[in-house]
Amino acid sequence: MNAPVNLVSTSTTHLLHRAGQLAEDLFARSIGEIGITARQFVVLSVVDGLEDPSQTALCEISGIDRSTLADIVRRLVSRGLLSRRRTRQDARMYAVRITPEGKEVLQRALPIAAKVDESLVESLSPEQREEFSTYLQKVVSRQGPRETSRDRSAETELRT
């Protein structure tokens, strides 16, 4: 009789999930008193690189689902790291802007995030790191924009 295949060690879905968990845990341990999550860091980074993006644009760029993104933005606004205002084009939508405090937190977090990224791939050679990054980018870009039924049902929440 053949031994069963260990799906935990061979499933791409499971391995990507575990890698994500490890990355988020390492980020949380490393970020210290700055006190932002990996996803909050991504949102701050994206907002800092754009001029008054809408929350819809943030969803498309970051891949974070609408309801989660709305919660992240709400938390960052309450901490004074982001501000938001209604857009001129559509009064139901918000444009988001990073505050000076948000820029300061982002600047402090950038080198920590870079160290976390480095730690995650330290077991790979420089060539493997480049290939790994290329392959992850291909997997992500091949899937296109992320939209789920939760995203569609939460669309109204983004406008409130």
CA separation for the pair 137, 108 (Å, rounded): 26
37 falls in which pLDDT band (50, 70, 90)? very high
pLDDT score of 143: 67
CA separation for the pair 69, 120 (Å, rounded): 25
φ and ψ of 98, to 5 deg: -80, 140
pLDDT score of 5: 59
**What is the per-residue pLDDT across 56-91, written as a single tens digit (0 to 9) for each?**
899 999 989 999 999 999 999 999 999 998 877 777
Instruction: Confirm if 109 and 36 have CB atoms less than 8 A apart.
Output: yes
- The mean per-residue pLDDT over the stretch 30-39 comes to 94
**Continuous H helices in the chain:** 7-10, 12-31, 38-48, 55-62, 66-78, 100-120, 126-143, 149-158
Neighbouring residues of 130: CB distance < 8 A, sequence distance ≥ 6: none
Highest mean pLDDT among 14-18, 51-55, 101-105: 101-105
- Residue spans of the domains in the chain: they are 13-158
The closest of 119, 120, 83, 124 to 101, measured between CA atoms, is: 83
CATH number listed for the domain at residues 13-158: 1.10.10.10
In which element (H, E) is residue 84 found? strand 82-86
| Residue found under tokens 């001129």 | 88
Neighbouring residues of 81: CB distance < 8 A, sequence distance ≥ 6: 36, 40, 44, 98, 99, 101, 102, 105
**What is the per-residue pLDDT across 49-63, written as a single tens digit (0 to 9) for each?**
998 898 889 999 998
